[in-house]
Each structure stands twice: as C-alpha cells, then as structure tokens.
Homo-oligomer: A and B are copies of this chain.
Amino acid sequence: MQELDCYSGNDMMYVATDCIVFGFSSDELKLLIFPRRVEPNKGAWSLIGSFVTLDEDVDSAAQRVLEQITGLEHVFFEQLKTYGAADRDSGYRCISVAQYALIRIGEYDRELVEKHGAYWYKLDEVPPLCLDHDQMVRDALTELRRKARYQPIGFELLPEKFTLPQLISLYEAIYQKKLDPRNFRKKILSLNVLTKLEEKDKSNSKKGAYFYKFNSENYKRLLESGYHFEL
C-alpha cells in the first residue's frame, strides 16, 4: 500500500515499563520492590515492571502491572521518564518507560503482594537495585517532592479518611523535615479542599483527631479559578 515507508531498515527493540511504587505507613515513606525471577540479574532486587505488548498502550501496561501486584484497579500513577541508554540492559536492547505510583498501604491485596515476594522498604533502607532502577527511584523521589508542592497528590498515599496530624506527618516524611502544625493547618484549610467529618480517630490520642477527606470538586474549582496551588 505504501510505496516508500519509513519503517523498513530500522531497528526494533523491547519496550518495558517499570513502576516505582510508593506507600506510606508508620510515618514513613516506603518503596515496594521485588526479587527478580528471570535472567539477567535473577535474584537481584528490582522494581516491578513488564514488557509492553504490541497491542497495548504503554500506560495500559503500567496499569496492568500495578493491578497484578496490588489487586487494585485504580491506582494513581504518572509517567516519570524514559530510560533509554543503549547499555542499560545487559541482555538485549530494551528501553524502559518508568512510572511512579502512589498507593494506599492497607487497601491493596496483601496476598497478591506476598505471592510475588514483594517487600516494602523504608526509603532510606532500600537495598541496591538492578540495572538503572536505583536512578529511577532517586528521580521518582525528586519528582514526588516537586509534585507534592504544587498538586495535592499526597492524598493518594493516605486512606480516604485521614486526620490532619496524619497529613502533616506525610508531608514531613516527603520533605524529611519538621513542619509547624499551626502554619500547615492554616494553609491547607484555607485552600478549602478538605471536608471535615464528624468522626474522630481516637487511635493515637485520648482526645481524638477529626477525620477529613479530600474534596476534589473544590480542588477542581480552585484550579479553574486560576489559583496557583502550593504547599
């Protein structure tokens, strides 16, 4: 059909997608990693990933991987960067589209995770990973920090109902520094993107902390009004 096309004579290669999966529990950011079960680098720690097939979108491949491992259909994930060094994979030429994902620890299917031999590591205790996965994690963390300042993605790491002390602790974990609870409250509440619930969480104190949930309608309205969100 095509007289002169642009494909013939060019090289084909494998395309993979790898997921940097973050979670949050016990006031710590965690990373989900796996012992690799195939050569090359069998046995080494690795991010979870998969090859992209001919008939699926790159993003669908990431979604498939995340669903396989967590059992959750809707997980927040976003493209981080593509790693395309010619020598990045010692086996055969393969580029990887890295995605970072934020999941609510507790909501995913523990069995599924354990079946894959996965472990949650505290971010500062992650062992060396195979290939260029260490670099991916560093880049994802940088991106998470950047992004969390301008967009309320932090909520993806918390249960649907969360308390302000939890939220503060999350941001402290992301930025690795103490925040002033008064100023933090003032700022986040002034944005009008949190809905206060009647219910209290008494698991951490006698007094109990009110639950809030994220109000995405108000957030949308805030964005539409041209507001420059920042935490």
Contacts and interface: CB of A to CB of B under 8 A. Distances in A.
Interface of A: 2-7, 10-15, 38-40, 51-60, 79, 81-82, 84-86, 91-95, 97
A97 B79 contact: no
Nearest to A94: B7
Q: Which of A15, A39, A40, A85 has the most CB of B within 10 A?
A: A15
Q: What is the total number of copies of this protein in its complex? A: 2
Contacts of A58: 82, 84-85, 95
Given A13-B13, A14-B12, A97-B82, A2 B39 contact: yes
A57 to B, nearest CB: 5
- Interface hub of A4, A85, A93 (most chain B Cβ within 10 A): A93
A33 B13 CA distance: 27
Contacts of A4: 38-39
Q: Is the interface of A mostly helix, strand, loop or mixed?
A: loop
Contacts of A40: 2, 5-6
A94 B4 CA distance: 17
A230 B21 CA distance: 30
Contacts of A60: 86
Contacts of A54: 11, 13, 86, 93
Nearest to A93: B54
A-B complex: 6 closest residue pairs judged by Cβ atoms: A58-B84, A6-B38, A12-B12, A2-B39, A10-B51, A11-B54
19 contacts: A4-B38, A4-B39, A5-B38, A5-B40, A6-B91, A7-B91, A7-B94, A11-B51, A11-B52, A12-B12, A12-B13, A12-B14, A13-B54, A52-B84, A57-B86, A60-B86, A82-B82, A82-B97, A95-B97
